[in-house]
């Protein structure tokens, strides 16, 4: 399937001009309170004649209640099929706005202006939209391509450092799947503050585009992009309502990688030097989280409810080696419980 390439902008003013060119009957902009303050406010001339919809930040608000707020505004303002919703924000806003637009009047155009490393490197690319439901991540959603994606690295300047680092989990994922030595060396050798985000974003986007062009609807090789995510999503959901322990998406995915790398050693004899390389890379950027026995139970319950499971077996994508992962690795619940006990 042909996928439109994102457009890159070196400054706010260039992006602003591009957005101002949009020729729709009505332009709606979805933001959260942070992206309204730090990102939308930078796009001064674009800010005229548009309707803003503001949602509270964080993943807790990526839900049907926020969707309803978006749909209420679209209806009240008579949005028609020639209207557009421009999502200015991180993965939360892109997933939420993408979903809301993809089903409103059976689908209106939407565009993404990703403002976090996570959204630039991953969430805004690939046309997966979703909201969380019944305590599970991304359980309601659609595959729907954005009309356009505008990437401007300037937005990363106001992003808190913890959020910036969170996006590295997906950069790592793409570089490990692609065995991209240049990016892996950069991640391994360079200090966090000196990372070249332009290169990291571009390499991640290019790899992900290559995969989704071959398999947009995730019937086959797109499942590779789930490495680290089966366990990661369960961890993210299990801790979501714990104010002290809740994790950013990338931090949860990093825990997912740690668990699934150990699983790959058991299932595929993944070489220990490769496993150690990945684990040390994760340690450079991400905290190691210890789970209580109650949390482990919650994680198991969430893994059992994963949308990819079949016949009571949990479905993982696992590394056989760096640059070679396998999809549809079905592992029994007993094996997972045993490993999690020791984790
Ligand atoms: N659809 C996909 O393919 C895909 C892929 C990866 C992740 N995701 C989803 O993305 C979400 C996580 O995305 P995220 O990590 O971007 O989190 P996020 O969207 O919640 O943003 C993180 C925080 O940063 C703030 N923020 C955003 N941009 C800012 C900026 N430029 N300056 C200052 N503050 C800013 C936000 O308000 C929020 O508080 C999760 O819901 C995850 O499931 C989706």
> Three-state SS string across 50-106, please?
CEEEEECCCHHHCCHHHHHHHHHHHHHCCCCCCCEEEEEECHHHHHHHHHHHHHHHH
The CATH code that applies to domain 7-158 is 3.40.50.1970
Domains of the chain, residue spans: 7-158, 161-342
Domain 161-342 class in CATH: mainly alpha
The secondary structure element, H or E, covering residue 255 is helix 249-268
- Structure confidence at residue 55 (pLDDT): 98
Residue indicated by tokens 């499971």: 309
Q: Which residues sit with their C-beta closer than 6 Å to ligand 1?
A: 32, 34-35, 38-39, 57-59, 62, 89-93, 95, 115-116, 118-119, 122-123, 126, 128, 137-138, 155, 158-159, 163, 166, 248-249
What is the pLDDT tens value at each position of the chain, 343 positions in all?
Answer: 788 899 999 988 889 888 888 889 999 999 999 999 999 999 877 777 899 999 999 999 999 999 999 999 999 999 999 999 999 999 999 999 999 999 999 999 999 999 999 999 999 999 999 999 988 889 999 999 999 999 999 999 999 999 999 999 999 999 999 999 999 999 999 999 999 999 999 999 999 999 999 999 999 999 999 999 999 999 999 999 899 999 999 999 999 999 999 999 999 989 999 999 999 999 999 999 999 999 999 999 999 988 888 888 999 999 999 999 999 999 998 999 999 998 8
83 CA distance to ligand 1 centroid (A)?
Answer: 24
- Structure confidence at residue 197 (pLDDT): 97
Side-chain-side CA neighbours of 333 within 13 Å: the count stands at 15
- Structure confidence at residue 51 (pLDDT): 95
163 CA distance to ligand 1 centroid (A)?
Answer: 8
Residue with CA closest to ligand 1 atom 34: 159
- Structure confidence at residue 297 (pLDDT): 95
115 CA distance to ligand 1 centroid (A)?
Answer: 8
């Amino acid at each position: 399937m042909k996928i439109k390439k994102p457009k890159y902008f070196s400054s706010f003013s260039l992006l602003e001009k591009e957005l101002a060119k949009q020729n729709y009957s009505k332009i709606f902009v979805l933001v959260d309170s942070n992206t309204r303050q730090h990102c939308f406010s930078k796009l001064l001339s674009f800010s005229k004649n548009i309707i803003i919809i503001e949602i509270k930040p964080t993943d807790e608000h990526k839900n049907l209640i926020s969707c309803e707020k978006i749909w209420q505004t679209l209806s009240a303002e008579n949005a028609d099929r020639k209207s557009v919703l421009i999502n200015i924000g991180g993965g939360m806003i892109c997933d939420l706005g993408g979903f809301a637009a993809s089903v409103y009047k059976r689908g209106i155009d939407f565009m993404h202006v990703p403002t976090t490393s996570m959204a630039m490197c991953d969430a805004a690319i690939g046309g997966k939209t979703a909201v969380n439901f019944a305590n599970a991540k991304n359980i309601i959603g659609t595959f729907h391509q954005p009309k356009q994606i505008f990437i401007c690295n300037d937005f990363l300047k106001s992003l808190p450092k913890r959020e910036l680092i969170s996006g590295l989990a997906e950069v790592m994922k793409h570089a490990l799947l692609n065995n991209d030595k240049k990016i892996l060396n950069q991640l391994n050798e360079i200090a966090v503050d000196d990372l070249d985000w332009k290169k990291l974003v571009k390499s991640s986007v290019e790899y992900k585009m290559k995969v989704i062009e071959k398999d947009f609807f995730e019937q086959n090789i797109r499942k590779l992009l789930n490495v680290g995510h089966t366990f990661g999503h369960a961890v993210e959901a299990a801790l979501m309502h714990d104010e002290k322990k809740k994790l950013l998406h990338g931090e949860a995915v990093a825990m997912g990688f740690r668990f699934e790398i150990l699983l790959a050693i058991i299932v595929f004899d993944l070489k220990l030097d490769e496993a150690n390389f990945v684990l040390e890379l994760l340690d450079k950027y991400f905290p190691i989280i210890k789970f209580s026995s109650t949390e482990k139970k919650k994680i198991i319950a969430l893994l059992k409810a994963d949308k990819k499971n079949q016949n009571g077996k949990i479905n993982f994508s696992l590394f056989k080696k760096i640059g070679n992962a396998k999809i549809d690795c079905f592992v029994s619940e007993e094996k997972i419980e045993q490993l999690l006990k020791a984790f």
